Amino acid sequence: MNIIKINGLEKKLDGKEILKGINLEVNKGTIIGIVGPSGSGKSTLLRCINRLIESDRGSIIFNKKNIRDIFPTELRRKIVMVHQESVMFPGSVYNNVSYGASLIADVKKSHILKCIKDAGLTEDFLDTDASKLSGGEKKRVALARALALDPSILLLDEPTSGVDPKKVQTVEKNIIDFSKNRKLTVLWVTHNIDQAMRVSSCIANLKDGVIREVCKTKDFKWEGAY
């Protein structure tokens, strides 16, 4: 059963047509890799899905409800995005990861610690000043912060860019396990086709604002995809 259904989605930015009639259905608990060249509209698509920007035409249905009928802050607790550039709040890693989740529920430290570990960090980071972290470490804190909200859908925009190469596959495995254990749906934008092949059960190829192909990962032919 699909958790999200996108019909005829269009978006212009600064007068330029970025999305040109996107159609996509994603089933609950699926990890879908969204690949395509730079400027193809991948990040714009994610930002439309959780209403960081509004589409010009078309519809996005989440759990059988049009997202325009869901208050944005409520929607963003269920559809959480991890951006390419990770912004840290003042304070410790623990405060950063627990911040959003603590606004909507009592949060146990064990839950925050698990999310930090799932993002590829260790308990040693809990009291570290988040502003002092490296770019890759900040990316993992942002991922942990998203996981702590226990979302229905996770939108990942190049989630391992800047991450220590030795940690990348650990982060990938943890997200895959998290998706399986919690039936978490993941839309994973990456320029790295090899990564998309590793993490996803299906792949959507986005080029020039149009989804050219959606298929099972095993059927994806990456030669000439771009």
Residue 215 structure tokens: 């298929």
User: Do 51 and 72 form a contact (C-beta atoms < 8 A)?
Assistant: yes
Q: How confident is the model at residue 166 (pLDDT cuts 50, 70, 90)?
A: confident
- Residues sharing a CB contact under 8 Å with residue 4, sequence separation 6 or more, in sequence order: 24, 25, 26, 49, 60, 61, 62, 153, 185
Give tens-digit pLDDT for 35-94: 999 889 999 999 999 999 999 999 999 999 999 999 999 999 999 999 988 889 999 999
pLDDT at 158 over 70: yes
User: Do 18 and 74 form a contact (C-beta atoms < 8 A)?
Assistant: no
Beta bridge partners of 203: 33, 215
Pairing of strands 31-35, 202-207: parallel
User: Do 186 and 192 form a contact (C-beta atoms < 8 A)?
Assistant: no
**What's residue 109's pLDDT?**
85
Domain 29-40+78-219 belongs to what topology? Answer: Rossmann fold (3.40.50)
**What's residue 61's pLDDT?**
98
Give tens-digit pLDDT for 199-225: 999 999 999 999 999 999 999 986 666
Domain ranges of the chain: 29-40+78-219
Give tens-digit pLDDT for 100-137: 776 656 678 888 898 998 888 899 999 999 999 998 89
Q: What element of type H or E holds 100? A: helix 93-102
pLDDT at 226 over 80: no
